[in-house]
Chains A and B, each alone.
Chain A
Amino acid sequence: MADMAAKNADAPLFLVEDVHFSYEGAPALAGATLSVERGERVALLGANGSGKSTLLKMLDGLLFPDRGRIGFMGQELSEATLRLDSFSREFRRRVGFVFQNADAQLFSPTVRDEVAFGPLHLGLPDDEVERRVEDTIHILGLGHLKERAPYHLSGGEKKRVALASVLAINPDVLLFDEPTAGLDPKTSSFLVSLAGDLHEAGKTIITATQDLSIVGDIADRALVMGEDHRLAGEGPPAAVLADRELLLRANLIHDHPHRHGGVEHYHPHSHVEGHEHGH
């Protein structure tokens, strides 16, 4: 037993081995292999349809591989293990998922109920639930919206409620799916800086995004998903962002025509730091 605990302590947080998955014949993952250590900040980069969201859902035990294996702290993450009450409760307490579509995540009658949903379902005592709800609502500046219906809020407010509903569980691992998509710059930067604070508090942050401008702020390691639904490359964000050939291959940047002095020509183009060109 002690051996097993020691083994689990050394095991990576997530170990994804040759995972395949397809939606009704359309491949989403075709042999993805990667690992994430505890306390890491990882960005999962990839174009639309490269399999980022599918991979995140697998890391949250919401989808399961057709082939291949996913491990969580040395134990297999599968339908069978998640059916075990003790494993499932512990896993749900440790791993939180902020969905890209905030609407799908908000289903309670009021913001307060929404934030309380997770802690209540994990069986925390009432006073602890109350304390967490109040604190989380306070951190995210949702005090004035507490009794409002979540589906009636603005896009930015919905995102903050969705985040609050996950943070109230106090997970060790946070999975973000396109956290800044469709948000105004102020809300985006608020989310990025909150993710920084959470990482400093020791949490593992895994963010799937195609917004290259935030990668340097949210990750210490970037993994690039290729259009062939496997890992196309990885490294420190600066190195990955400098690898134009890799980004072009993964369809994260694109060639597009420009006119300079009446001459039209093509060169790689991205939005890493605004809209700049190397000449």
Chain B
Amino acid sequence: MADGGMLPAWMTERPGGFEPGGPDRAVRQSALARTLLGLGRLARDTIYSEKVAARPGLMQGVDPRVKVAGVLVLLLLASLLRHWYLVLGLYLVSVAMAAAASIPAWFFMKRVWMFIPLFAAVIALPSIFNVVRDGDPLWVIWDFGGEVRLGPWSLGTSLAITQQGVRGAVMLVLRVAASVSLGVLLALTTRWNELLRALRVFHVPRLFVLILSMTYRYIFLLLAMATEMFTARASRMVGPASPREDRRFLAAGMGALLGKSHALSEEVYAAMVSRGFDGEPVTASRFRTAAADWVWLASTATLALSLLAGDRIIG
């Protein structure tokens, strides 16, 4: 032990002057740092959504129950329409509704199109080729010069993109785009608590609504914990970490977060129960339908019926 009482000797050593030296190289932003920024952005976006829902606008003014009913009708329509241009029309209607709700067009479209390439386009992509689904060739990519067989499976005489395949893929992507767009519109223009209450009106099981409500309340705490963990690590790091170290940290971090989040979720729930929560969401604005709500619902129904009728007439 050194003179410092209970401190070991190495802890009492004083550093010399501050003279950074050695070769410098620019520190590239690691995947981990980008994750950190991403977490912050997610929290900001969610708070922004609540702000949009609180703004005055055409969609925000509609009674949440009426809104949920209207959006359900339009969602049903998106899967019933058989012509791509009508589905595109439905998508454009949702964009127009977003504009009327004073949601910036770029923000709205980004939210929708961010997920579509992932979930729809990738799934639909193989079906545009004749080797997966036979059809009339639209564009021949590679002429094999004779039939090519893979065991019992015939690949045909060429690799081509087919008309039927493209039509099917476009239809799928448009349907997903229109549906996601309507969903995002509903979520952005309705305060979360009111949306949950509206779901209860439609007899969505209480347990399901409770889980949704807990997830939302608690996602910010999880974000804050994750951010703190990342920052605490960054503050103890000298120089950039190798990808291998990053991966190890992520794996360990996920485990730690799971444990912490479990303890915290119990505490959050206890705090809710302590203030009278019994599983039923309650909000300040009691639902009241006005004439404008019925006008909105009637317009939505008329739009749906006209598009559906048009779809059948075109054949």
Any chain A CB within 8 A of the CB of B298?
A: no
Instruction: Tell whether, in the assembled complex, residue B264 and residue A126 are in contact, meaning their CB atoms are under 8 Å apart.
Output: no
Q: Does A169 contact B (CB under 8 A)?
A: yes
Q: Are B221 and A103 within 8 A (Cβ)?
A: yes
B264, closest chain A residue (CB): A104
Q: Closest CB of chain B to A166's CB: distance in Å?
A: 7
Q: Is the CB of B275 within 8 A of A92?
A: yes
In the bound complex, CA of A89 to CA of B278 (Å): 9
Is the Cβ of A104 less than 8 Å from the Cβ of B271? yes
Size band of the interface chain B makes with A: 20 to 34
CA distance A85 to B276 in the complex (A): 10
Q: At the interface, yes or no: A267 with Cβ under 8 Å from chain B?
A: no
Cβ of B218: which chain A residues have Cβ within 8 Å of it? 107
Contacts of B123 in A (CB 8 A): none
Say whether A120 contacts B268, CB under 8 Å.
Answer: no
Give the complex CA separation of A109 and B267 in angstroms. Answer: 18
* Stretch from B151-159, B247-255, B282-290 contacting the other chain: B282-290
Is B276 in contact with A149, judged by CB distance below 8 angstroms?
no
B50 contacts A by Cβ under 8 Å: yes
Chain B contacts of A97 at CB under 8 A?
271, 274
A103-B224, A166-B275, A169-B275 given; A121·B50 CB < 8 A: no
**Nearest CB on B from A106, distance (A):** 8
B271 A107 Cβ-Cβ under 8 A: yes
**What 1/0 flags go to A210-222 for Cβ under 8 Å of B?**
0000000000000
Known contacts A99-B267, A113-B193, A121 near B274 by CB under 8 Å? no
Q: Is A179 engaged at the interface, CB distance under 8 Å to the other chain?
A: no
Determine the main DSSP class of A at the interface with B: helix
Q: In the assembled complex, which residues on chain B have CB atoms less than 8 Å from the CB atom of A126? A: 284-286
> How many A residues face the partner with a CB closer than 8 A?
38
The yes or no answer to B234 lying at the interface (CB within 8 A) is: no
Beta-carbon contact of B276 and A62 below 8 Å = no
Most buried by B among A101, A117, A165, A169: A117
Q: State the CA gap A123–B251 with chains docked (Å).
A: 45
Whether A92 contacts B224 in the complex (CB less than 8 A), given A107-B268, A108-B217, A120-B284, comes out as no
- Please give me the residue from chain A that is nearest to B282 by CB atom: A120
- Inter-subunit contact A88/B221 (CB<8 Å): no
CB-based contact B220/A151 at 8 Å: yes
Let me know if A5 is at the binding interface, CB within 8 A.
Answer: no
Residue B272 contacts which of A57, A89, A107 (CB distance < 8 angstroms)? Answer: A107
Question: Is residue B230 contacting chain A, with contact meaning CB distance below 8 A?
Answer: no
Q: Which residues of A contact B285 (CB under 8 A)?
A: 126
Distance between B184 CB and nearest chain A CB, rounded to angstroms: 18
Instruction: Report yes or no: B192 in contact with A118, Cβ–Cβ below 8 A.
Output: no
Distance in angstroms between the alpha carbons of A95 and B224 in the assembled complex: 29
B-contacting residues, A55-80, CB 8 Å: 57, 60, 62
Q: Are A62 and B284 in contact (CB under 8 A)?
A: no
User: A170: CB under 8 A from chain B?
Assistant: no
Known contacts A109-B47, A113-B193; is-contact A60 B276 (Cβ 8 Å): no
**How far is it, in angstroms, between the C-alpha of A191 and the C-alpha of B126 when the chains are bound?**
65
Q: How close is B235's CB to chain A, nearest CB, in angstroms?
A: 19
- Residue B125 is within 8 A (CB to CB) of chain A in the complex: no
A166 to B218, CA, bound (A): 19
Residues of chain A with a CB closer than 8 A to B144's CB: none
- Is residue B270 contacting chain A, with contact meaning CB distance below 8 A? yes
B82 an interface residue at 8 Å Cβ cutoff? Answer: no
Q: Are A105 and B224 in contact (CB under 8 A)?
A: no
In contact, A165 and B284 (Cβ under 8 angstroms): no
Flag if A93 contacts B276 (CB, 8 Å).
yes
Report the Cα distance A257→B276, complex, angstroms.
Answer: 49
Give B5-54 interface residues, CB cut-off 8 Å to A. Answer: 5, 47, 50
Whether B284 and A60, one on each chain, are in contact in the complex, defined by CB atoms closer than 8 angstroms, is no
Asked if A107 and B286 sit within 8 Å, CB to CB, the answer is no
A135 at the interface (CB under 8 A from B): no
- Is B208 in the interface zone, CB < 8 Å from A? no
Q: List 24 A-B contacts (CB under 8 A).
A: A60-B274, A85-B278, A92-B273, A92-B274, A93-B276, A95-B274, A99-B267, A99-B271, A104-B271, A105-B271, A107-B217, A107-B218, A107-B221, A107-B271, A109-B193, A110-B50, A117-B272, A118-B276, A121-B276, A121-B278, A121-B282, A149-B47, A149-B220, A152-B47
Known: A103-B221, A109-B47. 14 other contacts (CB 8 A): A92-B273, A95-B274, A97-B271, A97-B274, A99-B267, A105-B271, A107-B271, A117-B272, A117-B275, A117-B277, A118-B275, A121-B275, A149-B47, A166-B275
| In the complex, the 5 A-B pairs of residues with the closest C-beta atoms, listed nearest first | A107-B217, A121-B276, A118-B275, A104-B267, A92-B276
List B residues at the A interface (Cβ < 8 Å): 5, 47, 50, 191-193, 217-218, 220-221, 224, 264, 267-268, 270-278, 282-286
